[in-house]
A and B are shown apart, each in its own frame.
Chain A
Amino acid sequence: QSVLTQSPSASGTPGQRVTISCSGSYSNIGSHTVNWYQHRPGTAPKLLIYNDNQWPSGVPDRFSASKSGTSASLAISGLQSEDEADYYCAAWDDSLNGPVFGGGTKLTVL
């Protein structure tokens, strides 16, 4: 069982906006920044958002993220078929003294 909790699945149609949530605790999300990764099976995971809401170069601003207390969320607007992937949240955890990941949310574009 993952330390950070994500819904196992989400879906939307092209053009829609979808939100993926991530729940943690004070020792991780409540005290440290959150990062989001996109992972298409068979490929290298890709950093999508870092330090709560920063975009790496090349990531479109259709992807945005926010955090409140011990929860965080990733929003994808203008959904595209290429967005179909697994999405993971992650944050440093003081108990582990290392990063912890969510269990991943499989996004399906209908």
Chain B
Amino acid sequence: EVQLVQSGAEVKKSGESLHISCATSGYKFTSYWIGWVRQMSGKGLEWMGIIYPGDSNTRYSPSFQGQVTMSVDKSINTASLQWNSLKASDTAIYYCAKVGPGTGYYFDYWGQGTLVTVSS
């Protein structure tokens, strides 16, 4: 069974750093892209970027380029999302999701989300 289990909720202050994780199981981690999606309160889903665990190749949405860093640890089948200096506007739920096989571009499995709250 494919599972993506995200780290727990975080409460931070502006300017602090943060690292959230997405532990995967049930499939070959290095063979499928992993994406990150943001949902701000009361808003829709926004694609942040994707990373290929096989070689750590990354593609960022222009809106998030330079704002966050995606990485993976192949030894523990885990993807991570990192901020060096949080802003109040980073307050949101962040989802990791596995890109499905074959043609097309879709997320076939999602994590449960990590709520990040940043106070100013």
Q: Give residues in A with beta carbon < 8 Å to B.
A: 2, 32-33, 35, 37, 39, 43-47, 50-51, 56, 88, 90, 92, 96-104
Is B10 on the interface with A (CB-CB < 8 A)? no
**A90 to B100, alpha carbons, bound, how many Å?**
14
Q: Cβ of B44 and Cβ of A51 under 8 Å apart? A: no
The answer to whether A47 touches B100 (Cβ under 8 A) is yes
Smallest CB–CB gap between A54 and chain B, Å?
Answer: 8
Contact A50 B47 (CB under 8 A): no
- How many pairs of residues, A versus B, come closer than 8 Å at their CB atoms? 71
A102 to chain B: which residues have CB within 8 Å? 44
Asked if B100 contacts A101 (CB within 8 A), the reply is no
A88 CA to B44 CA, complexed, in Å: 8
A101 touches B45 (CB 8 A): yes
Task: Assess whether B44 is in contact with A44, with CB atoms less than 8 Å apart.
Answer: no
- How far is it, in angstroms, between the C-alpha of A35 and the C-alpha of B35 when the chains are bound? 15
Quick one: which of B42-68 are within 8 Å of A by CB?
43-47, 49-50, 59, 61-62
Distance between Cα atoms of A50 and B45 in the complex (Å)? 17
